Amino acid sequence: MLLSGQDAAAIDRAAEALAAGELVAFPTETVYGLGARADDDAAVAKIFALKGRPADHPLIVHVLDRADALVFAASLNDAAERLIAAFWPGPLTLIVPRAPGIAEAAAAGQGSVGLRCPAHPVARQLLAAARERGVHGVAGPSANRFGRISPTRAQHVVDDFGADLLVLDGGACDVGIESSIVDCSGRAPALLRPGQIERGRIEAALAAPLAERGADSPRASGTLEAHYAPRAKLRLMPAGMLNTALQMLGDSALKLAVYSRTVPLPPGSRLARRVMPDAPERAAHELFAALRELDALGLDLIWVEEPPADAAWDGVRDRLARAAAA
């Protein structure tokens, strides 16, 4: 059922459902999450079952503040404390040592756990109402079928799961791609997934460079090689190659759409095209909605122009590269 996130009664209803071990989809500033109380392994198992997600792929636990983070974290080192002070609430997930005996299913059995403090007002109201009912953290991966395009509108969640799931509608997600993930569980913090918060900003907050992901880095949400994929085959191409391919294609009968920033369709072409915004923040905001819109056309192929190589585009480039690998 789709309920307004502006309705206090709907927030209370969703918090009651979480406390009872049921699933609730809720908005964050990144994407919509599919939530269950993180301290209840049976409730968390419902997330994996509904999404079709492998149980060894960990979830992110959403908390209201640092105090609730300490319910799930065995400790917060200096790097974690610096990043919390700089970026929470906001689109940053921290991987930290997990407190014994809690959130084992959400952490996929690892000794570490991913924690995030969302900034979206509806998410924060839900977390506050849930805490009043004894729920100090909500495990919440993206509210979509595993490996598919993430949802940034409440209707996207309904499209994926139907009308039976309780969904809080908080409007379109501001950021539009998932959070940056920094591993703070090892000797040196490492960036596991890029997002809106760029590497340079994170390093400035740490006053130190980030390490690269290593073979011993913990598993983290949304870091599989193939992810975020439409049903159509997505191909990521440099602008020049895309332009040449479109010129060679002509008015072919291929069921093809184009998502490009600088490359227009050839004159007279009847192919579907969406224009990628020039600003990386706007491109991130609309990325998943644009891919869902094109995928709904029932196409075989989506050709996408590669984003620019600068750091501001890292999050968008990462999502498109994983979508193309599917």
**Tell me: the pLDDT tens digits for 77-135?**
999 999 999 999 999 999 999 999 999 999 999 999 999 999 999 999 999 999 999 99
Q: Other C-beta atoms within 10 Å of 179: how many?
A: 28
Residues 6+ apart with CB under 8 A from 233: 300, 301, 302
**How does pLDDT run across 271-283, given as a tens digit for each residue?**
999 999 999 999 9
Residue 223 clears pLDDT 90, i.e. is over it: no
Residues 6+ apart with CB under 8 A from 10: 3, 4, 168
**How does pLDDT run across 145-201, given as a tens digit for each residue?**
999 999 999 999 999 999 999 999 999 999 999 999 999 998 899 999 999 999 999
Dihedral, CA of residue 74, residue 61, residue 64 and residue 37, to nearest 10: -110
**How does pLDDT run across 244-262, given as a tens digit for each residue?**
999 988 666 679 999 999 9
Q: Which pair of structure tokens corresponds to residue 76?
A: 């917060």
Residues of the chain above pLDDT 70, percent: 99
Residues 6+ apart with CB under 8 A from 40: 21
User: According to the model, what pLDDT value does residue 251 have?
Assistant: 63
The confidence band for 204, taking pLDDT boundaries of 50, 70 and 90, is very high
Tell me the C-alpha distance between 321 and 226, whole Å: 8
Model pTM greater than 0.85? yes
| Complete domains list, the chain, with CATH | 2-206 (3.90.870.10), 233-325 (3.40.50.11030)
Residue 321 clears pLDDT 90, i.e. is over it: yes
User: According to the model, what pLDDT value does residue 218 have?
Assistant: 87
Average pLDDT (23-39) is 98
Interhelix angle 280-295/314-325, rounded to 10 degrees, is 20
